[in-house]
Structure 1
Amino acid sequence: MQGSGVRSLMSCLVDVDLAVCDVDDGYAAAIGRARDDVIGCHLPDLIHADDRAAFSERLRALCIDGRGFSTTVRLAGDATRRVWLTHHVSLLQLGSWRRVSMTVAYEDVPPVDDERRVLKRAAERILGKRRLRERYLGSAVVGEPAFDLLLELFVQEAEGRAVYTTSAAVASGAPLTTALRQIAMLVESGLVRRLPDPIDRRRVIVQLTPDGMRTMTDYLAATQRV
């Protein structure tokens, strides 16, 4: 049913090699397979080819730095299929035991235009690579929290999700006080704005301004030509 929004929540568990360890029946049904057939599959193989590389990079970065993320990706299958899964991804660790846990929302959403999806994937790839750079080189070498924040806002807005101040601070990868200063700097520069949540006015939404969206769109488009 088109336009109905989120319909149910499901779960999926994969190992650090991205092989599926366990799924519930709802996730298997969304993929269009029996549950036993999904277990053991390489998770990225179940994702549409257009989204597979960026999704895989973010999963690999998570296994290294433990930083969770959310992303909406299209299922592999018929080119006319209009079903996406939103994965809220985190790393579970107990001693040497590690698994990637995903709470998954099965959604019917309008297809994003091709150019916007290309730019969203570009932003996700940059985020994944920056997480790996930080892991191997250290934040003092590659730490650019304002840029990380702009990338994260672009990705989340492309997927239609609101980003709140605390989430934005976490996305920047900087200590809270530093992150808040970076947000204030971006607001002053005109790239980012703060808006009250229309449902809970105690919370503040952080989003790109029209100028910020144009700037990031132009930048990401330029990266595709390099």
Structure 2
Amino acid sequence: MLGSGVRSLMSCLVDDDMTICDVDEGYAAAIGRPREDVIGCHLLDLIHPDDRGVFAERVRALRVDGRGFSMTQRLAGDDAQRVWLTHHVSMLQLGAWRRVSITIAYEDSAPIDDERRALKRAAERILGKRRLRERYWGAAMVGEPAFDLLLELFVQEAEGRAVYTTSAAVASGAPLTTALRQIAMLVEHGLVRRLPDPIDRRRVIVQLTAEGTRTMTDYLAATERL
């Protein structure tokens, strides 16, 4: 398994069946197998069983709407070792040729505690299923941009990532002007707030308020009890 001193990004390409077409030496080292043995493997077989379902749902949704995403998962294998990798997933397409491109970053440990992680997985499952709805009925018919935005903010903040206005608008699935109105509405209701980026003041960070986090946590916990 990859040592904790390694911080370089790794990458792999998978086809529509999530079979690995190419992978760099760093990812092969993380898996603990030679590169030539990793190529041809099914990607989900390399991910911990508890994390496979949500990841597969998000990849299926990516093929429909083209929206990239990031997720942190354990590698398959001994739970005691707990090797965590963050997968930044996007679609590459040139004519009929297309691949899912994944850039991977090594994590020292689980990014969040078990309870929070379970709620994050619940939010990701709901997001994945909502994206799949759009495949059959279209976003105009079934879209709920404010709720999609709340789910995406909860997932990204659980991973410790900042969400900027533009990416929040994309996550809502609505046209930019509609998305900005939805953000303003959530701000007015005290669920979301806007903050200037401390590094680049031209950018605006969108994040859940304490009330927004509490209501999303309560909602997701309730969905897990159904």
Please confirm whether the aligned pair reaches a TM-score higher than 0.5, indicating the same fold: yes
Give 1:50-199 correspondences, 5 Å limit: 50-199=50-199
Q: Contact (CA 8 Å) 2:84, 2:110: kept in 1 or not?
A: no
The one-letter code of the counterpart of 2:119 is: L
Corresponding letter in the other structure for 1:222:
A
Gaps of 5+ in 2: none
Cα 1:111–1:203 shift into 2, 3 Å: closer
Which segments of 5 or more consecutive residues in structure 1 lack a partner in the other structure? none
**Does structure 1 retain, via aligned residues, the 8 Å contact 2:111–2:159?**
no
Shift of 1:11: 0.9
1:27 matched to which residue of 2?
Answer: 27
The offset of 1:111, in angstroms, is: 4.8
Q: Secondary structure at the match of 2:132?
A: helix
Counterpart secondary structure, 1:207 = strand
**What's the secondary structure of 2:198's corresponding residue?**
coil
- The Cα shift of 1:157 comes to 0.7
1:202 paired residue number: 202
> Which residue does the alignment assign to 1:222?
222
Deviation of residue 81 (structure 1)?
2.2
Q: SS of the residue aligned with 1:109?
A: coil
**1:110: Cα distance to partner?**
4.5
SS at match of 2:73: strand
**What secondary structure is seen at the aligned counterpart in 1 of 2:107?**
strand
Residues 66-114 of structure 1: per-residue CA shift (max 9 Å, x gap): 2111111121121122432111111111222111001111121345211
Q: Residue 225 of structure 2: SS of its match in structure 1?
A: coil
Paired letter, 1:85: L
Provide the secondary structure at the position in 1 that maps to 2:194: strand
- Partners of 2:82 and 2:194 lie apart in 1 by 32
* Deviation (angstroms), 1:116: 0.8
Count of residue pairs the alignment pairs up: 224
Secondary structure of 1:91 counterpart = strand
**Within 5 A, what are the aligned runs for 1:7-22?**
7-22=7-22
Deviations 1:132-164 (A, max 9, x none): 101111112211000000000000011111111
Is 1:46 the counterpart of 2:37? The answer is: no
Query: 2: CA distance between counterparts of 1:111 and 1:10?
Result: 19
Letter in 2 for 1:218: D
TM-score normalised by L of structure 1: 0.95
Counting aligned pairs with the same residue, the percent is 82
Return the alpha-carbon distance in structure 2 between the equivalents of residues 69 and 174 of structure 1. Answer: 17
Moved more, 60-69 or 160-169: 60-69
Q: Say whether the 8 Å CA contact 1:92–1:100 is kept in structure 2.
A: yes
Q: Does structure 1 retain, via aligned residues, the 8 Å contact 2:91–2:99?
A: yes
